[in-house]
Amino acid sequence: MSGTVSDLARATSTCGWVVFGIATVNTAGNRVTWKRHHVRTCAYRTPKRFSFTNHRVYQVELKVCAERRAAEPSMQCTAGNPAWKTLYTSPH
């Protein structure tokens, strides 16, 4: 997965977050594990590039938030409302 994220919040204390929920399948094909990957930028209108790789991906979901500067997105950002958007689901 690769792309860019931009912060459109003018407040200097607010950052743009993109959070990915990634479901991967184990090698036996009988267990799905969810993990999260997040990218943050606090530079107003300055795109930040990101790239990461996962193998045996079953599903990818996305959520975008604008909130305070922190090491990780808050529970409010990663919770279910508003809903996650599905980007990819494996046909298998």
Residue 56 tokens read as 């045996």
Entry pTM: 0.86
How do residues 36-73 score in pLDDT, each as one tens digit? 999 999 999 999 999 999 999 999 999 999 999 999 99
Distance CA 92, CA 83 (A): 24
Indicate the number of domains in the chain.
1
Band (pLDDT 50/70/90 cuts) for residue 3 is very high
- The more confident residue out of 91 and 92 is 91
Give the model confidence (pLDDT) of 74-91 as tens digits: 998 998 777 899 999 998
Q: Give the integer Cα–Cα distance in Å for 1 and 72.
A: 19
Boundaries of domain holding 14: 2-89
